[in-house]
């Protein structure tokens, strides 16, 4: 049985200070450039983490991030729950990333840092990395959507912070760690069901 190395996929996250996204959205909708810059600065990592979780090529990832911000500009003043702006951005970024994947019918294999494969590495190694990533994506896709999203945000590069995840998924920060462990166990079970064992 072939062993694939999934170790090192997740990172420990830190938290930031609280904020009022609803007020900033209202100000931005009224043309306040400073409020818009605050929103972009505050949520940029979260949007990138969401997109990176889909393992897109760098150019495609940048396009998805730009499109996500464009969708927000188009929706200023029309978001039903401004206090959950993080969740809205995550949902929008994920939808745009899936649209790009569907339209291209393929993704460019990337390493853990979202870069193109190193041509100096042996072909066999690159194929094994691609196979590993494919198996991991397939196992992840078999989990419920809420579990997929949490694991994608945690595994992205750069990863979302616990506070960003708490806001985006509307869950207490203290529950993220236990849920992470539970969802990873389920992911390991899916991999095991496919005949794949995690390297020790």
The C-alpha atoms of residue 121 and residue 151 are separated, in whole angstroms, by 28
pLDDT tens-digit map of 20-70: 788 889 899 999 999 999 999 888 888 988 888 777 888 999 999 999 999
Does the pLDDT of residue 99 top 70, yes or no? Answer: yes
Mean pLDDT (whole number) for 97-114: 65
Average pLDDT score, the chain = 78
Q: What percent of the chain has pLDDT over 90?
A: 26
For the chain, how are helix, strand and coil distributed in percent, rounded to 5?
65, 0, 35
Q: Cβ(13)–Cβ(173) under 8 Å?
A: no
Partner residues linked to 3 by β-bridges: 197
The C-alpha atoms of residue 76 and residue 85 are separated, in whole angstroms, by 11
Please tell me the predicted confidence (pLDDT) of residue 16: 32
Going from the C-alpha of 149 to that of each of 46, 53, 122, 143, the distances in angstroms are 12, 9, 33, 10
Question: What pLDDT band is residue 178 in, cutting at 50, 70 and 90?
Answer: very high
The C-alpha atoms of residue 98 and residue 64 are separated, in whole angstroms, by 10
Does the pLDDT of residue 128 top 90, yes or no? Answer: no
Q: Tell me the two tokens of residue 31.
A: 């043309």
Model-level pTM?
0.62
Question: What pLDDT band is residue 4 in, cutting at 50, 70 and 90?
Answer: very low
Question: What pLDDT band is residue 197 in, cutting at 50, 70 and 90?
Answer: low
Question: What pLDDT band is residue 198 in, cutting at 50, 70 and 90?
Answer: low
Please tell me the predicted confidence (pLDDT) of residue 15: 30
Question: What pLDDT band is residue 129 in, cutting at 50, 70 and 90?
Answer: low
pLDDT tens-digit map of 83-94: 888 889 988 998
| Contacts of residue 67, Cβ cutoff 8 Å, sequence gap at least 6 | 96
Considering only CA atoms, which of 152, 130, 151 is closest in space to residue 121? 130
Considering only CA atoms, which of 126, 140, 127 is closest in space to residue 191? 140
| Residue bearing the bigger pLDDT, 193 or 184 | 184
Q: Tell me the two tokens of residue 182.
A: 């539970």
User: What phi, psi does 197 have (nearest 5°)?
Assistant: -110, 145
Does the pLDDT of residue 10 top 70, yes or no? Answer: no
Please tell me the predicted confidence (pLDDT) of residue 192: 85
Does the pLDDT of residue 113 top 80, yes or no? Answer: no
Q: Tell me the two tokens of residue 76.
A: 């200023």
């Amino acid at each position: 049985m072939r062993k694939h190395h999934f170790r090192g996929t997740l990172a420990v996250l830190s938290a930031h200070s609280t904020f009022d996204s609803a007020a900033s959205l209202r100000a931005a909708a009224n043309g306040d450039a400073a409020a818009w810059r605050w929103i972009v600065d505050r949520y940029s990592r979260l949007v990138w983490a969401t997109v990176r979780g889909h393992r897109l090529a760098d150019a495609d990832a940048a396009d998805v991030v730009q499109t996500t911000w464009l969708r927000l500009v188009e929706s200023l003043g029309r978001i039903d729950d401004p206090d959950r702006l993080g969740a809205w951005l995550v949902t929008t970024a994920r939808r745009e990333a899936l649209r790009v994947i569907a339209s291209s019918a393929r993704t460019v294999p990337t390493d853990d840092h979202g870069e193109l494969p190193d041509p100096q590495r042996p072909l066999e190694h690159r194929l094994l990395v691609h196979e590993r990533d494919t198996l991991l994506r397939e196992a992840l896709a078999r989990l419920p959507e809420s579990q997929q999203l949490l694991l994608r945000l945690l595994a992205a590069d750069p990863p979302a912070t616990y506070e960003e995840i708490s806001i985006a998924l509307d869950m207490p920060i203290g529950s993220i760690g236990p849920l992470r462990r539970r969802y990873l166990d389920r992911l390991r079970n899916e991999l095991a069901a496919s005949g794949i064992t995690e390297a020790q």
